[in-house]
Amino acid sequence: MLLAILKATFFLPWCLTLPVPPAADLKGWDFVKDYFQRFFMTKKESSPLTQGEQIRFLQQFFRLNVTGLLDKQTLAVLRQPRCGVPDAAYYSVSPERLKWDEDTLTYRIINYPYGLKTSTVKDIMRAAVSIWSSVTPLVFEQVDDRDADIKISFWALGINLFLVATHELGHALGLYHSGNPNSIMYPTYEYKDPRTFHLSLEDIRRIQHLYGRKEA
């Protein structure tokens, strides 16, 4: 089942990778309730938590001051554009997904975003996959004329491509979101200079938990 999901096209920056703007028309508790339901619950269940418990849960997840009150800092974090992958996995004991069975993975760029040269996009994608291959035995191969394990397509560009691609590749490799603001798997998008970017120690630990360390 996992392989079927991973082999499906993921879109940059939208789809599972979708930077989702929170519901702007909702205020206060209605906004929090909608956010919690969209990203921390499945469609088939409703939250058993009270209003204060949900706010405390979100504050704990985003490593904020846990008060149970909807303060300005909490609301500001929740209103940031974020990845559309739900955080329901945060409930699980082991938040990592199943892994790929092979170490060599192919990827194919289905189409290219308007306004960027094809060569630029290819360079950015190579840089993104190298972030993960530099700390694991994984090898990524771009293919153009055949089926691929990971298929990449673009709907629109408004977010830094390198950071979004690195984040979404983390999902494709089996990682869920992290509540650590320093992690590339943090659900909200925060700009980091691609020229000096590196994985956090948590990112390295989690991906190596799935695939092991890169041999010297």
Q: Which residues form the catalytic set?
A: 168
> What string of H, E and C letters represents the secondary structure of the chain?
CHHHHHHCEEEECCCCCCEECCCCCCCHHHHHHHHHHHHHCCCCCCCCCCHHHHHHHHHHHCCCCCCCCCCHHHHHHHCCCEECCCCHHHHCCCCCCCCCCCCEEEEEECCCCCCCCHHHHHHHHHHHHHHHHCCCCCEEEECCCCCCCEEEEECCCCCCHHHHHHHHHHHHHCCCCCCCCCCCCCCECCCCCCCCCCCCHHHHHHHHHHHCCCCC
Which tokens is 168 given? Answer: 């979404």
Q: Determine the residue type at 24.
A: A
C-alpha Rg value of the chain to the nearest Å:
18
Residue-level length of the chain: 216
What is the spatial distance between Cα 193 and Cα 183, in angstroms, rounded to a whole number?
14
